Amino acid sequence: MILDVFFPNRCISCSRIIDGDLLVCNVCFGQIRFSHFDYSDENILKERCKLLFPVENAYALLRFEKESISRKIIHHLKYQSREKIGKTLAEWTNERVIFEDRKPDMLVSVPLHPKKQRKRGYNQLHVYTETLSELYSIPFKHGLIKRNHYSKAQALKDKKHRLENQNIFSITESINNQHVLLIDDVFTTGNTLSMIAWEVLKSGNNKVSILVMAMDE
């Protein structure tokens, strides 16, 4: 196409021209730090989650390091209108996560407040979640969790302010005997996922697992 000639797809990291369906070039792909966690086994993310709420399994695809390609990828997804990056990340996840007998019953992504979603134009987790739903044949439910208050990003708040935020989320319908896989972009303090996890757990005899695109170290 003529647009490909004048506006070729470039590697997010080094700007080398690459095929239109790729995110990074082969050289930069080799520099991405994947977590190499085992979804069904113990790992650092699961240990951090267990300090906040009961968790069955936890997995982070990438390590969210400073000046890393992982950070650039997430930044482009969230702030550069590159919503389709979620599809690539879902495909990378599918290559690395095998649920086996621990397959969740539904996928639920962390919601944005409607005001923030209108401003951004999309929820950065939706394409990721929907692609995973197709790849694993697991239903997703975007509307299960509602964000009640418009607030700054967790990463921009100090610890005291984070702890003051209660009742930010609520569950829109009761669920029972469900294994819910909660999906977020970056695990930092875990406070957001913790608040949502407790809403799910309080709703019925449910179980919670965690999947994040990247884990901040």
Predicted confidence (pLDDT) per residue in 80-125, tens digit: 889 999 999 999 999 999 998 889 999 999 999 888 888 889 999 9
Contacts 24+ apart (CB under 8 A), 131-136: 131/86, 131/87, 131/90, 131/91, 132/90, 132/93, 132/94, 132/107, 132/183, 132/211, 133/107, 135/90, 135/91, 135/94, 136/94, 136/99, 136/103
7 and 95 together in one domain? no
Residue 65's CATH number: 3.40.50.2020
117 and 203 together in one domain? yes
Question: How much is the pTM?
Answer: 0.89
194 and 128 together in one domain? yes
The total number of structural domains that make up the chain: 2
21 and 91 together in one domain? no
In terms of residue numbers, what domain contains 23? 1-31
**What percent of the chain clears pLDDT 90, i.e. is strictly above it?**
77
Predicted confidence (pLDDT) per residue in 128-161, tens digit: 999 999 999 999 999 999 998 876 555 445 554 5
101 and 2 together in one domain? no
